[in-house]
Amino acid sequence: MRYLDIDPVDRAQIIIEALPYIKRFNGSIMVIKYGGHAMLDEGLKEGFALDITLLRYVGIKPIVVHGGGPQIGKLLKELSVEPHFVDGLRVTDERTMDVVEMVLTGQINKEIVTRITMAGGRAVGISGKDASLIVAKRLLYKKRLSDGGVEEIDLGLVGEVQEIRPDILFKLADAGFIPVVSPVASGVDGKSYNLNADTAAGHIAMALKARKLILLTDTQGVLDGDRRLISSLTKSEAERLMQMGVIKGGMIPKVQCCLDALQNGVKKAHILDGRIKHALLLELFSDSGVGTEIVLEREKEHEDYV
């Protein structure tokens, strides 16, 4: 059903329902990690650009941090560069790093900026290198062995965040711009490092003391043991579900990223299904929402439950 096919009174009700949320979030910084299918489908790309632009126009200050794994893999294949992974993590040599930076900063970042600009927003593309926004160090991955031991594996130019210097983001957001951040950083050793986009978004949200950290994924959100969506989780509930094995696989680092952010100044985190068009608006400006919200302690959220 199209919006114009809805009864005019019902259309007005949709706008009225959004009003208290718009008032509450006015002036707030929100860090949004953009990735997955939402970056590949043309309709979802257009919808995301419109959503981000609308957020800016109603007084919210969105900061976009994007990924690009599938696009990187596609170009590496075209260049006949054989990928190597350890537990799903890409081993990144210098040649691979050149491709990573080319795709993330030179291609994807500029496409997102262009789409937001065409939607009416004032987007500015930067990487973690610009103004030393993100300072990284080499990540030594700790692989668990079958005998219970741990082996440290060098993944090459894969980095972990050492420091965030957020001044450039504050200045751009305060001036009405929408920063779009590529998760490529410089190390103290002068080398370029590829960062996990979820982790980069989480650290940026912490440094900015963002109102919300929002991760767009290719799942509904966090699911219970019967594969039903959990609309709201506290820190203790999330930790219990991870211990029970209900939250597992690739969802564990996403939930942990949210918990780390909440423990370091972020008010609320959300894991949303980026395959749903306008998922951002539905989660932020409607009573029902479409994903999983994660908070420290629910009883402390009564004054700002959304």
Residue 133 burial class via C-beta count within 10 angstroms: exposed 0-12, middle 13-18, buried 19 and up = buried
- In this structure, of 130-134, 143-147, 217-221, 280-284, the range with the lowest mean pLDDT score is 143-147
Least confident range from 57-61, 68-72, 276-280: namely 68-72
Q: How far apart are CA 34 and CA 6, in angstroms?
A: 30
What does the pLDDT average to over 169-187? Answer: 97
Bridge-based pairing state of the strands 268-273 and 89-90: unpaired
Range in 81-85, 157-161, 198-202 with the lowest mean pLDDT:
81-85
Give the per-residue pLDDT at 85.
80
Domains (range + CATH), the chain: 3-300 (3.40.1160.10)
pLDDT for 118 beyond 90 = yes
- The length of the chain is 306
Q: Which 8-state DSSP code applies to residue 81?
A: P
Phi-psi region of 80 (alpha: psi -120 to 50; beta: other; left: phi over 0): left
Q: pTM (2 decimals)?
A: 0.91
Q: Are strands 29-34 and 212-217 parallel, antiparallel or unpaired?
A: parallel
Q: Map residue 40 onto helix, strand or coil.
A: coil
End-to-end Cα distance, the chain: 27
Give yes or no for residue 203 having a pLDDT over 50: yes
